[in-house]
Structure 1
Amino acid sequence: MKVLITGSNGLLGQHLLPLFIQDERYEVIAACRGVNRLPVQNGYTYESVNLRNAVSAQQLLEKHRPDIIIHAAAMTQVDECERNKDACWDTNVTATRYLIQAAEKYNAHFLFLSTDFIFDGLEGPYAEDAPANPLSYYGSSKVAAERLVKNSKVPWAIIRTVLVYGTAVDMQRSNIITWVKNNLQQGKKIKVVDDQWRTPTLVQDLAEGCKLVADKRSTGVYHISGKEMLSPYEMAVQTAEFFKLDQRLIEKVNAKTFVQPAKRPAKTGFVIDKAVQELGYQPHSFAEGLEIVAKEIK
């Protein structure tokens, strides 16, 4: 069975690949823009591809004819999406449209990665059937892409997630744990909000959730995240405690302190009962996630 993973250089992609490579049932094709930045260069086929080009997407699927596509490639920097709306739309919506059109020829099972930012944050945590009401252009682009997936002729699954953290090789961007740890180690003061809430997701858990959906050929929408509702401030304090760093450098602030191009939802987080019951999904606690990240950093 062939599985195509887009966005393979990204944080999720780097954790998805080993899971599928280790499973002898799968032949793995990794696809991303530019060169392959992964440390493991064998056990799969790598394709450098621009999915924002319809012909490139068609040629990729014609060449490999995957049974399953995990579409993890996306523009996820929320403020950058607000500043550069054309690039955001091209990457998150147009590329998804081209990939779906190509997938329909081969009836590939299409797994699409989405986000808690499709919600307005007024009534979190959210179940899968909650109505979308995005506050940012990033969220709007993901709602539009989800609509394309739902209206497609392929068997599909939408996997939504929340505030993913973990480590990756050649990381282009930091996440909550690495950002807090790096700043505090350098003795820098940081401001962290305590009036937003999320269910932070360990990247290994998200990868495992994606694989469970692929293995079972499940269809529909699944919320895959951590199980604890935490504010970024609480996450920062737990991170400082774990790494024995100076918590006095962490200043508790509210969201109004920051002037950001994109508006953030106040309280998202997910109800993950469906994934637990139907898929057997079992996420780590945030404390366990910290231990896993610490071992990887070493």
Structure 2
Amino acid sequence: MKVLITGANGLLGQKLVQLYESDESVDVIATARGASRNPFGTYTYEQMDVTVRSEVDKIISKHSPDVVINTAAMTHVDECELNPEKCWKLNVDAVSNLIDACHKTNSFIIHLSTDFIFDGESGPYVEEDLPNPLSKYAESKLESEKLLEASGIKHAIVRTMLVYGIVHDMSRSNIILWVKKSLEEKQLIKVVNDQWRTPTLAEDLAKGCALIAQKQAEGVWHISGKDLLTPYDMAIATAEFFDLDKALIEKADGSIFTQPAKRPPKTGFILDKARRELGYEPVSFKEGLAILKSQLAHV
């Protein structure tokens, strides 16, 4: 099987390349803007900007992949709110480019979406629940889903949320690394306790995508962690796991933070479909912390 990954310099992209390293039956074409930042894995690397249609056409037609996994996106929610045209170009127009290219090569495309397409009034959610986006980011991701559903090509939509993990050069941060660093520096931090998510270990998300790719399992899939937690819960668990001072963590209402984009209060995913049809089973949040700890010992 030949798998082409977009956004391969990002957290999920790098985890996918590493996951496929041990599978000799899969040839990986990793693509991103600029030079490759992933020193691990055996793969072919191509520079490709998903917003440039001619580049997408050229690279996908050159390799004719069986599966395209689209991890490229503009995911900073507030930046999307402040720069809606840039957001639309990367999150919607780029998907249109990929759809057109995959039409020509008959490639199966796996596209990453988000829990933020829901308004958070009735989470946790199953795949069939009705979306109601609250931000420009959420609107763009929902529109990309609609493009795929109307395209007629073989595809899967993977919704996920609050992905955490580390890359070798520590160029990506997340709530766990932020809490750990802040507490090690004895900083008092305020953490939201009125929003709920099922945080997702990057390795689990990569595993979910690989299961879908292997089966070419069409449709919408919810792939996340299994523990419904607030960011405050996550911060306390991180402090306890790394033996840091929990007294430095202060509960905060989300309304005290001035953020351009509105966040859904309670999302979280029900994973029954992915468990039943894919055999997907994520680690617990505490198990995820243990994995991060072991990885941090080697960076």
TM-score normalised per structure 2: 0.98
Q: Is the 8 A contact 1:11 1:171 kept in 2?
A: no
1:79-109 residue CA offsets vs partner (Å, 9 max, x unmatched): 1111111111111111110011010011101
After the TM superposition, which residues 183-262 of structure 1 pair with which residues of structure 2 at under 5 Å, given as runs?
Answer: 183-262=182-261
Aligned-pair CA distance for 1:43: 1.5
AA in 1 matched with 2:30: A
Q: Tell me, what secondary structure is at the counterpart of 1:151?
A: helix
2-side partners of 1:51 and 1:225: how far apart?
A: 25
Q: Is the 8 A contact 1:21 1:27 kept in 2?
A: no
Aligned-pair CA distance for 1:180: 0.6
Aligned-pair CA distance for 1:228: 1.1
Aligned-pair CA distance for 1:153: 2.3
Aligned to 1:282: 281
Q: Tell me, what secondary structure is at the counterpart of 1:276?
A: helix
Aligned to 2:9: 9
1:235-277 residue CA offsets vs partner (Å, 9 max, x unmatched): 0000000001111111101101100011000000000000000
2-side partners of 1:107 and 1:189: how far apart?
A: 53
Aligned to 2:30: 30
1:270 aligns with 2:239: no
Aligned-pair CA distance for 1:196: 0.3
2-side partners of 1:177 and 1:82: how far apart?
A: 25
Aligned-pair CA distance for 1:173: 3.6
Aligned-pair CA distance for 1:46: 0.5
AA in 1 matched with 2:20: F
AA in 2 matched with 1:261: P
Aligned-pair CA distance for 1:22: 1.7
Aligned-pair CA distance for 1:21: 2.7
Aligned-pair CA distance for 1:171: 4.0
Aligned to 2:21: 21
1:182 aligns with 2:178: no
2-side partners of 1:147 and 1:169: how far apart?
A: 35
Q: Tell me, what secondary structure is at the counterpart of 2:233?
A: helix
Aligned to 1:101: 100
1:180-221 residue CA offsets vs partner (Å, 9 max, x unmatched): 111111111111010000011111110000000011110100
RMSD of aligned alpha carbons: 0.9
After the TM superposition, which residues 34-73 of structure 1 pair with which residues of structure 2 at under 5 Å, given as runs?
Answer: 34-40=34-40, 43-73=42-72
Q: Is the 8 A contact 2:166 2:172 kept in 1?
A: no
After the TM superposition, which residues 108-147 of structure 1 pair with which residues of structure 2 at under 5 Å, given as runs?
Answer: 108-147=107-146
Q: Tell me, what secondary structure is at the counterpart of 1:47?
A: strand
1-side partners of 2:14 and 2:50: how far apart?
A: 19
AA in 2 matched with 1:228: D
Q: Tell me, what secondary structure is at the counterpart of 1:225?
A: coil
Aligned-pair CA distance for 1:170: 3.0
2-side partners of 1:199 and 1:51: how far apart?
A: 29
Aligned-pair CA distance for 1:39: 1.7
Which aligned runs of 4 or more in structure 1 are off by greater than 2 angstroms? 169-173
1:152-187 residue CA offsets vs partner (Å, 9 max, x unmatched): 121110010011111112344411111111111111
AA in 2 matched with 1:291: A
1-side partners of 2:100 and 2:168: how far apart?
A: 32
2-side partners of 1:143 and 1:45: how far apart?
A: 31
Q: Which has the larger displacement, 275-284 or 46-55?
A: 46-55
